[in-house]
Chain A
Amino acid sequence: MQSSASKRSQLRRDALGWTFMLPSLLFLGCFTMLPIGKSVINSFQKINLGKKTFKWVGLTNYQKVFNDPVFHKVLQNTFLFSLVVIPLSMLLGFTVASLVKRNFKGVGFARALIYYPNIAPTIGFATVWTFLLTPDVGFISQVSKWMGIPAIDYLNNPNYAIYTIMLVYLWREVGFVMIFYTSGLQNISPEYYEAATLDGASAWTVLRKITLPLVKPTTVFVLTCTMANSFKMVDLIVTMTTKGGPNNATNVLMYHIYQTAFSYWDIGKASVMTVIMLLFMLLVSGVQFVTMDRHTHYDN
């Protein structure tokens, strides 16, 4: 009797639990799980969206993608972009955060000025940046002429274009990193620093032995966010360049997926690249798993 009653109440809890999870799982299923499966399946198919026909083609799409010199260029750009942008945004974000963590007059204003690129529409400000970077008449060109530096067409020069995009990207990302490090730094008890000062520790030692270990949870979080953000970056390319140009110098993976899918309508190839993007995202989680200190809890 007792056990059948407890069984019944367990069943009731099962029903309640799954019913309450259902709305979330329904949308996750349709727009996360299903698409992941669909990308994998479509990557082995030749698809005609108009005629709604598909044909299994084995690894043909993968061969096409990996033999495409543009794809090689795209991968190179994506890695170059991430390798430059991830450490720089973290370093600059951390530095700015250590400047704004103390409360003094105007610090809120400074934070708002460094953070605004994150709430401003990227589309608008990416366009403003293209104006600023316009050769001859743009603001940056005028300033560099005034300083006696020859003006360069930064966005249309294949040697500089991707670095120019990186700078604009950093302009946005540093504020994002700053927010998290500011809070991380503010959560460190001042007593640690007082003790270190009494012991006569140098600033470098304090940074290495106190600050960095104590903000490690923040660092792990920020690292995985900046990694994922850099792999996903696409809006600056759409707005500031002509189709990832000049000559694919700024074409990155997410943009190439978009281009292959919605300009060339090659669903098979675009699915292969989506699968590669999924692997990148798994890599991000792998990094998070490895670098996370399992004894550290995220709630401060």
Chain B
Amino acid sequence: MGKKKIHFGPILLLLVSLLWAMPLLWALTTALKPAKESMIVGFSKNITLENFKVVFSSAPFLQYGLNTVVIVAGILLVQLVTVTLGAYALACVDFRGKWLAVGLIMVQIVIPTDVLILPNYTTLRHMNLLDTRLGIMLPFFASSMGLLLLRGAYKGIPVAIADAAKIDGANVFQTLWNVYIPSTRATYVAFAICSISTHWNSFLWPMIVINSVDKRPLTVGLSLFAKASESGPMWAKICAATLVVMAPLYILFCCFQNVFVASLVRSGMK
């Protein structure tokens, strides 16, 4: 029984993987062949990088990529500050009204920011921040998930170590910088990976906020590129563009699969 299963499992897994890989394989073969052969199934003898060239010349994908990097990095950097300070307060400071702070944090766990597109849009409108990259980032500067995650990690650090730093005359910031942050590096990596992969692929919110071509992130650029060209011969270009948008994150994933997976699990389950 047990033996039979071991042989059966990998075969089933192979079938599932192939089925799942089908769109990727199709996109890859289509992107690598001349546009006029798009409709023909399978690899072409005339492998070409022409489609990738067309993608970069017909839409400012480098500018889109830069915008995505700015947005993703901006969100992450501010989050790291807000989350570090907040987590320290929650884990290490015995202040009155902490229950209230925790309660307020839980609201974002229950109600994710994604469903509040309409009221957040009107808020940005009042602040005159529509059509700005800052506008895309603002709603995500605080992260309850990050706060809870880091609070847990900070609590795992023995109080004695922090006290030793205090006796050595370190102030709160020095203790954070020299004790707490270095010893919870894995948690920071986990949080960063979650934050990056969420915001790299975020689509609806940037589409609502941004109008100008030069401020579009990759996802919005890709969607408009696809909308503008849905006829058959354009398939090759769109496949090439999709692969271009996907590549950075996928390479990151493949190189650091174990860290990536462990990070996702860690951030979800604590």
Contacts and interface: CB of A to CB of B under 8 A. Distances in A.
Chains A and B form a bound pair: yes
Chain A interface main SS type: helix
A132 B232 CA distance: 11
A100 B14 CA distance: 11
> Which of the listed residues A33, A34, A115 has the most CB atoms from chain B within 10 Å of its own CB?
A115
Given A24-B83, A267-B122, A235 B203 contact: yes
A121 interface: yes
Interface in A232-246: 232, 234-235, 238-239
Given A17-B95, A232-B114, A119 B101 contact: no
B174 interface: no
A239 B223 contact: yes
Contact of B245 (A35, A124, A137, A142): A124
A56 interface: no
B110 interface: yes
Contacts of A298: 269-270
B10 interface: yes
A75 interface: no
Interface string A100-133: 1010101111111111111111111101111110
A203 B4 CA distance: 13
A16 B125 CA distance: 34
B115 interface: yes
B265 A228 contact: no
Interface string B85-123: 110111001111110010011011111111111111111
Contacts of A15: 95
Interface of B: 1-2, 5, 9-10, 12-14, 16-18, 20-24, 26-27, 30, 39, 41, 81-83, 85-86, 88-90, 93-98, 101, 104-105, 107-123, 125, 138-144, 147, 152, 172, 197, 200-201, 203-204, 207-208, 218-219, 222-223, 226, 230, 232, 235, 238-239, 241-243, 245-246, 249-250, 253-254, 257, 261-262, 264-265, 268-270
B94 A13 contact: yes
A242 B126 CA distance: 31
A10 B94 CA distance: 8
A75 to B, nearest CB: 16
A110 B232 CA distance: 31
Given A23-B141, A96-B13, 7 more contacts: A24-B86, A27-B82, A49-B122, A99-B10, A109-B17, A183-B261, A274-B116
A207 B175 CA distance: 47
B163 to A, nearest CB: 15
A117 B246 CA distance: 10
Interface residue tally of chain A, by bracket?
A: 35 or more
Contact of A114 (B17, B113, B116, B222): B17
Contact of A119 (B140, B141, B223, B246): B246
A239 B5 CA distance: 40
